[in-house]
Amino acid sequence: MVLPGEERTPVLLAVATPVHLALSLGWAAVLARTLPRGREPLWGAVAGLGIAALDLGVIGRRIPAIRGLPQGRQWADHVAYGLTVGLVLRRRRAPADPPRWRRPR
């Protein structure tokens, strides 16, 4: 999509990697600010569906390269991404375990 006439794999990877990374980190930042505490994995998966609806249903409908992708796998990938971000957020937001010597017996 960024280089429509390009066919060389190394060039395509070199261009696609930073674009995909920027999009993924951008969405992760949005989810980190918006997912409610306590049920991050569930809401992350739901957010993944929302991102898929935007990426695939709204934007992707206008771009033949996206429209031609296998849609089921793309939606599943977005849900898995949201779930993964939710799991990471739950882990990062959890209070740290106290040291062993401070735990109640």
pLDDT on residue 105: 64
| Residues making up the chain, counted from first to last | 105
Q: What is the pLDDT of residues 69-100, one digit of tens each?
A: 899 999 999 999 999 999 999 999 988 777 67
Instruction: State how far the Cα of 40 lies from the Cα of 18, in Å rounded to an integer.
Output: 26
Could you tell me the two tokens for 74? 């793309």
Residue 102 pLDDT grade (very low, low, confident, very high; cuts 50, 70, 90): low
Name which residue leads in pLDDT, 45 or 1.
45
